[in-house]
Amino acid sequence: MNELIFFINKVLISGSIIGSIYALGAIGVTLVFGILRFANFSHADLMTSGAYLSFVFAALLPGLGPVIGLPTGFVVLPLSILFLAAFAVTIDVMFYRPLRKRNVRPVMLLVASLGVTLMLHGVIRLFAGTSPRTFFAEQNKDVFRIDVPFETTTRDLIISEPQVLLIITTIICIVSLHQFLTRTRLGKAMRAMSDNSELALVSGINTDKVVQATWVIAGTLAAIAGTLLALDVVLKPDLSFNLLLPIFAAAIVGGIGRPYGAIAGGLLVGFSETLAVFNWSVLLRPFAEYFPEWVEIPSRLNFVPTEYKIIVPFVILIAVLIWRPTGIFRGQVI
Amino acid sequence: MLINAINLVAGYGGEPVLRGVNFAIDSGDIGVIVGPNGAGKTTALKSIFGLIRLSKGSVQLEGEDITNVPPDRRVRLGIGYVTQERNVFPSLTVRENLEMGAFIRKDKFSPVIDNMFELFPPLAQKADDVAGQLSGGQRQMVAIARALMVSPRLLLLDEPTVGLSPAFVSEIVDRILTIARSGVGVLIVEQNAKRALEIADIGFVLASGKNLFTDSGKNLLNDPEVAKSFLGG
Amino acid sequence: MNFRRYQREYLFFASVGVAVVLIVLNFGDAYALRMLAEAACYAILALGLTIQWGYAGLFNAGGMGFVAIGGYITMLIAFPVNHDFWGSEGAAALGEFLLEMLVVVAVVIGITQIHRIGIRGKLKVILILIALVIAFFVFNNQLVPVARLIERESGFIGGLGLPVMLGWIAGGLAAAFVAYWIGKACLGLRADYLAIATLGIAEIIKAILKNADWLTRGTLTVSPLPWPVPTPNDIGFVAARAAYLALTAILVAVLFVLLQRAYRAPWGRMMRAIRDDEVAAAAMGKDINLRRLQMFVLGSGLIGFGGAVLISFSRIFDPSGFTPLKHTFLVWVMVLVGGAANNLGAIFGAVAVYIIWLMGEPIMLFLFENVRLYGSLWFDWQAPDDLMARALQARVFFIGLTITLALRFVPNGLIPERIGRIN
């Protein structure tokens, strides 16, 4: 039974955690891709910026967390959301809108987003340095150990407070995004513009406003994902550059412009990663006596060594591009 | 005149497609633009809606010059435009498509939606279906209804019956007549010249970016020269 | 040549010349030669990217990966033979492993042909997927003990001790080979997908080179890499670097002439037609994806080749030294600033941007030394200890800024494409 608990800790819990992060990132990427028609390479650095914003606010308001009883980094989240959403809109006005007005090919916007991502890279490194930081210097990170009521188990299910917050916040985000997209005029206009931007213009939809709303949502989700990831792991400048590929893979698997697809894609990529690096020997060992004698269970038995984890989203990405470029949810962009 | 387009010259870079054409229709009239392929029919409609920058000429809506007004503002001024292809939002429901048509309306528009369902009864049953799954004719209804949601003064239709089955064609034509009778000016681009001219109050025959003939639909149909040049005898 | 017509070109190259003279005076011959030799290597990279971006409009965000492949293959081919390895059990184990893998590959290929015995459709796809997963599982778990054995006995497998130039060509070919498969998967789709895929493959290549110690010594690095010309140990820094520079300059010149000819040939004209109006080109019956694949493979091959030359020059193979910044984005800036569809522009961009990039280092240090000084004088500001390291990292901000500014204000680069010249 201990092995099973190990599996739940290492695969189910880790997978949903990283899957949620990917999902939040992929929703932002997929919305921008759907509306503005380019793969936003700066999204991961937007997430990192959000995490650093939260770090700054947490440092400015250190007393806030203990009062409410939650990590300070989480409590200041609304502030970072506000700032990052405004920041995302500003970036659009400064760097993307002038290009759009000139009617350039969408891939030019992609190049611009590379420029933006490098700028964010530089600014973060200049002001924060490259050394990792933690949100829990003055506050303890609560870890819940859930005793499993079986006699044969000695291990506990382990989940930390930031992880619980992450899962709850992700669910809240998804539900509110769904409400926004299906119930509000602006949300419907976003879906409309993602469907067919020329027709949106012809219908009299204020496309500038839709673009702004898109950046606000992308910024909001990036702030949430970045902060919660930093709370769960650690805050460092290249935190999210490694997330770029899995997030793109998730967005493409889900179908570009399909937020629900992005959620499914995020979880798919997240679980594939954890399953691929999981050491399957742990699960096989209890059954060692049932194997013939000449079979020796190696101490490590995994599909992909942890160092090569990045191969997993890449393989998923390529497989989808070859077999079904529109993604499992039939996105509209190929 | 509801709409008066004077001496339009426009194109996509290079040789102009329109080389000085004129259109004018009154409220409640159906105007039809016909002509051979490449005559500039669709371009004419686009330039009236402002999707193409004019290099010469002007467009007036009820006497007011709108030549330099961008397309989304023209919607507010009361021009509805239905493109030939990709004219619905496929992943939105029929009702949502209509709501998008009413995006600029600040008032309560649910009665307008009900009117549309009255005008196009098949849509009422499909109100909550995704538009991408409708048949071609139903999509065309959604597209026209979407454009009507702003209660436009002028409706521009680009080949509204292309690729539809005969039953749908007559239904759409019927609706267009109803719309015009309610006082909306309708300007239609049509490939099927004969049928279109039958319902036209005024017909514009274009060739190589110029007005060839302009007359009432009936007269054009009976004009032997028009018949000879492209009505196929 | 008509001076007025090429005024821009003369002007820009003259200013580069002035900069070089100033650098020679300030930093000495050896430094300037190193800078120019590296800039020449970057010029090859920029020419490769120009083919992809400028000629064909393809977005390659994985320059680093192809540079790394070129660098590794050169090391493998040209580095002296590691006799420890060839005499050890590790060599035998590796041979055995390779044979096993041949069998695995044969089985997988066999399974891809099962439609011949009547298994088709979904079932076939599923079987192939299962076979691939199992094959990968076997590959991964068989490799680990062999790799451990080699690392324990003899460090790494070493090189083959063949001529360096052969290594460069092989490096280019290897990069082209990888590009072929990436291109096959992505070129029918939007440019964005190619960008994402190349970004991914670059990171994967780096991860492999960094962690496969038995192949590359990983973080221990391999040096000194051999040169095709006498090394500084033989004839001193200045002479050796001058020789290397001469060689790379010849390479750049030859490549330039060849590309210029191709650009003016019907083949180049067709490529531009495809880039500018895909639909019209398709209507003329051009197989667009095949053409694009050619361009992508050719460009990536050049990047691999240039990477090989660049890494050889540095004399050290260090997988951690490959960074997207230096080997992907810097090249992008060169091409965007220089002029996307212009070979001369790419070369100019490479030299000019590389000079600015190198000079950025002392300039940033100088600036931030002053920031620290006046910050503490005027505001009693205690600068963080790693301020200088941060200042260098912050150079990436200017790379990004240059990209966005170039896109906005000089979308065609400083030396734009000259359409008139071809007719």
pLDDT at B70: 87
**pLDDT at residue A330 greater than cutoff 70:** no
Verify whether the Cβ–Cβ distance A203 to B75 is below 8 Å: yes
Q: CB count, 10 Å around CB of C288?
A: 18
What is the extent of the structural domain holding B44?
A: 3-91+152-231
- Flag whether residue B75 sits within 8 Å of chain A, measured between CB atoms: yes
- Could you say which residues from 85 to 124 on chain B have a Cβ atom under 8 Å away from some Cβ of chain A? 86-92, 96-97, 99-101, 103-104
Verify whether the Cβ–Cβ distance C197 to A105 is below 8 Å: no
- Whether residues C336 and C198 share a domain: the answer is yes
**pLDDT at residue C148 greater than cutoff 90:** no
Q: Structurally, how many domains does chain B consist of? A: 1
Q: Shortest CA distance to A231 belongs to which of A146, A308, A143?
A: A143
pLDDT digits (tens, 9 = 90+) for B46-59: 999 988 888 899 99
B–C touching, 3+ CB–CB pairs within 8 Å: no
A–B touching, 3+ CB–CB pairs within 8 Å: yes
B10 membership: H or E segment, kind and range: strand B3-10
B contact chains, 3+ CB pairs < 8 A = A
**pLDDT at residue A19 greater than cutoff 50:** yes
B9 within domain boundaries: yes
pLDDT digits (tens, 9 = 90+) for C11-48: 888 888 888 888 888 888 889 999 999 999 999 999 99
B141 within domain boundaries: no
**pLDDT at residue B233 greater than cutoff 80:** no
pLDDT at A265: 95
Nearest by CB: A196 against B86, B96, B101: B86
Which pLDDT band, with edges at 50, 70 and 90, does C378 fall under? confident
Omega into C224 within 30° of 0, i.e. cis? yes
Buried b (16+ CB within 10 A) or exposed e, C296-313: bbbbbbbbbbbbbbbbbb
Q: Which of A141-150, A152-161, A192-201 has the highest mean pLDDT?
A: A192-201
Residues of B in contact with A188 (CB under 8 A): 92, 96, 99-100
Q: Which of A76-80, A196-200, B170-174 has the highest mean pLDDT?
A: A76-80
**pLDDT at residue A302 greater than cutoff 60:** yes
Verify whether the Cβ–Cβ distance C391 to A126 is below 8 Å: yes
Structural domains of chain A ordered from first start: 2-323 (1.10.3470)
Residue found by looking up tokens 């967390």 in the block: A65
Residue A325: closest CA among chain C residues belongs to which residue? C189
**pLDDT at residue B132 greater than cutoff 80:** yes
pLDDT at C413: 84
- Chain A interface, mutation test: which of C206, C407, C410, C412, most A Cβ atoms within 10 Å? C407
Higher local confidence (pLDDT), B162 or A20: A20
Q: Structurally, how many domains does chain C consist of? A: 2
Residue B97: closest CA among chain A residues belongs to which residue? A192
Residues of C in contact with A333 (CB under 8 A): 190
pLDDT digits (tens, 9 = 90+) for A41-84: 999 999 999 999 999 999 898 888 888 888 888 999 999 999 99
Higher local confidence (pLDDT), B39 or C248: C248
Q: What is the CATH number of the domain that holds B158?
A: 3.40.50.300
- Whether residues C339 and C255 share a domain: the answer is yes
B191 within domain boundaries: yes
Residues of A in contact with B83 (CB under 8 A): 198-199, 202
Residue A329: closest CA among chain B residues belongs to which residue? B91
Which pLDDT band, with edges at 50, 70 and 90, does C156 fall under? confident
Residues of C in contact with A305 (CB under 8 A): 140, 144, 211
Which pLDDT band, with edges at 50, 70 and 90, does C392 fall under? confident
Inter-CA distances, C145 with B131, C94, C97, C102, C141, Å = 58, 10, 10, 18, 8
pLDDT at C332: 93
- Whether residues C125 and C202 share a domain: the answer is no
- Whether residues C320 and C290 share a domain: the answer is yes
State whether the Cα torsion C188-C194-C200-C202 is positive or negative: positive
The residue type of C301 is G
Residue pair A246/C203 in contact by the 8 Å Cβ criterion: no
What is the extent of the structural domain holding C111?
A: 83-155
- Flag whether residue B56 sits within 8 Å of chain A, measured between CB atoms: no
pLDDT at A318: 87
Q: What is the CATH number of the domain that holds C176?
A: 1.10.3470
Verify whether the Cβ–Cβ distance B92 to A206 is below 8 Å: no
Q: Give percent of chain C above pLDDT 70.
A: 97
B125 within domain boundaries: no
Query: Which residues have a Cβ under 8 Å from the Cβ of C263 and sit 6 or more positions away?
Result: C55, C343, C422
Verify whether the Cβ–Cβ distance A203 to B99 is below 8 Å: no
B109 within domain boundaries: no
B99 within domain boundaries: no
Closest Cα in chain A, distance from residue B20 (Å): 25
Which pLDDT band, with edges at 50, 70 and 90, does A158 fall under? confident
- What does the mean pLDDT of chain C come to? 87
> Which of C107, C134, C155 finishes a domain?
C155
Residues of A in contact with B147 (CB under 8 A): 203
Closest Cα in chain C, distance from residue A128 (Å): 8
**pLDDT at residue B232 greater than cutoff 70:** no
pLDDT at C422: 39
Q: Which two tokens stand for residue B101?
A: 């048509």
- Chain C interface, mutation test: which of A92, A318, A324, A332, most C Cβ atoms within 10 Å? A318
Burial of C153 (0-12, 13-18, 19+ CB in 10 A): middle
Closest Cα in chain A, distance from residue C241 (Å): 32
B205 within domain boundaries: yes
A216 membership: H or E segment, kind and range: helix A207-232
The 3 state secondary structure assigned to chain C is CCCCCCHHHHHHHHHHHHHHHHHHHHHCHHHHHHHHHHHHHHHHHHHHHHHHHHHCCCCCCCHHHHHHHHHHHHHHHHCCECHHHHCCHHHHHHHHHHHHHHHHHHHHHHHHCHHHHCCCHHHHHHHHHHHHHHHHHHHHHHHHHHHHHHHHHHCCCEECCCCHHHHHHHHHHHHHHHHHHHHHHHCCCCHHHHHHHHHHHHHHHHHHHHHCHHHHCHHHCECCCCCCCCCHHHHCHHHHHHHHHHHHHHHHHHHHHHHHHHHHCHHHHHHHHHHHCHHHHHHCCCCHHHHHHHHHHHHHHHHHHHHHHHHHHHCCECHHHCCHHHHHHHHHHHHHHHCCCCHHHHHHHHHHHHHHHHHHHHHHHHHHHHHHHHHHHHHCCCCCCCHHHHHHHCHHHHHHHHHHHHHHHCCCCCCCCCHHHHC
Mean pLDDT of A20-24: 95
Q: Shortest CA distance to A329 belongs to which of A64, A4, A26?
A: A26
Which chain A residues touch B if contact means CB-CB below 8 Å? Answer: 185, 188-189, 191-192, 194-196, 198-207, 332
Nearest by CB: A318 against C185, C192, C390: C185
> Which of C155, C185, C207 finishes a domain?
C155
> Which of C155, C179, C199 finishes a domain?
C155
- Chain C interface, mutation test: which of A93, A125, A130, A280, most C Cβ atoms within 10 Å? A125
State how beta strands B154-158 and B79-82 pair: parallel
- Whether residues C319 and C369 share a domain: the answer is yes
C1 within domain boundaries: no
- Whether residues C351 and C417 share a domain: the answer is yes
- Whether residues C64 and C116 share a domain: the answer is no
Higher local confidence (pLDDT), B97 or B229: B97
Closest Cα in chain C, distance from residue A17 (Å): 22
- Whether residues C97 and C51 share a domain: the answer is no
pLDDT at C370: 85
pLDDT at A81: 97
- What does the mean pLDDT of chain B come to? 89
pLDDT digits (tens, 9 = 90+) for C199-212: 999 999 999 999 88
